[in-house]
Amino acid sequence: MSPTLTPTGRRTAAAVLAAALLVPLAACGGNDDTAKDTGGAAGTTPQTNLTVLAAASLTDVFKTAGAAYEKSHPGTKITFSFAGSQELVAQVSQGSPADVLVTADTQSMDKVEADTDTPTIIAKNRLVIATGEGNPFKIDDLKDLASTELKVVLAAPEVPAGKYGKKILDAQKITVKPVSQEPNVRAVLSKVEMGEADAGLVYKTDAESAKDKVDAVEIPDDHNAIAQYPATTLKDSENARAATAFVTWLSSPEGQKILQDAGFQKP
């Protein structure tokens, strides 16, 4: 015969049984919490860090473009490295880790063809003569740059802006003896801004970015050169899909509007 349980005994037995049933449930619940802690919060987007090597003349516009891209692509963070195209090409050739390359001429891009995917032209540009604010020396055209009374600064011959400058000066048979040859076009602009040079050949967009400090003298189309900006992904990129998405976006309506608002021409 089974012993008869008192009301107190029945309550005690029920409590023991409930506790026994809760143990495996608690264990399961504990595992779920642990998974959440180690697996990350639901709905979070993995972070992708892109490194973009870009021509110095893209400094201002790409900062704007990068901010816009990150806003519409919250999982992507872009870090830019700006320099002369010849310096960027050297970095790629030496194996510097990066995802995207954008140069200011197709010749520079061609030098790293084996390291890149097929490039896309995302914008064009043209040269202007940058002078001090108010154009104090009354420079009107390229021939004025030959004056020995002027301190003229040019980009070095291996720099795209230097190549374009040499091309248009040679075509007009104009000899300019620069006081310095700079490693990138933004260095030329800086010299004029600071008054260390009276004039220099820069891209139209560079002069536009410093319009409160320099004046821009237009160069007629038939005496000018058109700069092309190819963009591509690097074959060794560890973020190939994200890199391709950024390059594609540069040719999108949103990307093109940002470039053209900064003074760049349509591709």
Query: What integer pLDDT is reported at residue 10 of this predicted model?
Result: 41
User: Is the same domain home to 191 and 148?
Assistant: yes
Residue pLDDT, tens place only, 214-262: 999 999 999 999 999 999 999 999 999 999 999 999 999 999 999 999 9
In the three-class reduction of DSSP (H, G, I as helix; E, B as strand; rest coil), residue 238 is classed as coil
Backbone φ and ψ of 183, nearest 5°? -75, -15
Residues 154 and 211 in one domain: yes
CATH number of the CATH domain containing 117: 3.40.190.10
Dmax (CA) for the chain in angstroms is 124
Q: Is residue 35 part of a domain?
A: no
Question: What pLDDT does residue 9 have?
Answer: 44
* One domain for residues 105 and 234: yes
Compute how many other C-beta atoms are within 10 angstroms of the C-beta atom of residue 86. 23
- Which pLDDT does position 25 carry in this prediction? 35
With respect to residue 33, please indicate whether it lies within any of the assigned structural domains: no
Using CB atoms within 10 Å of the CB of residue 33, give its burial: 0 to 12 exposed, 13 to 18 middle, 19+ buried.
Answer: exposed
Separation between Cα atoms, residue 4 and residue 79, nearest integer Å: 78
pLDDT-flagged residues of the chain (< 70): 1-46
114: containing domain: 48-124+227-261
Residue 185's closest CA among 59, 81, 80? Answer: 59
Q: Does residue 30 form part of some domain?
A: no
Domain count, the chain: 2
Judge if 213 and 157 occupy the same domain. yes
Q: Are 166 and 157 within 8 A, CB to CB?
A: yes
pTM exceeding the 0.85 threshold for the entire prediction: no
First to last CA, the chain: 97
Look at residue 207 and tell me if it is in a domain: yes
Asked if 226 and 125 count as a contact pair (C-beta separation under 8 A), the reply is: yes
26 within domain boundaries: no
Q: What type of residue is 131?
A: T
Beta strands in 20-60 (DSSP E): 48-55
Residue 24 lies in a domain: no
Instruction: Return the closest-CA partner of residue 98 out of 89, 111, 109, 108.
Output: 89
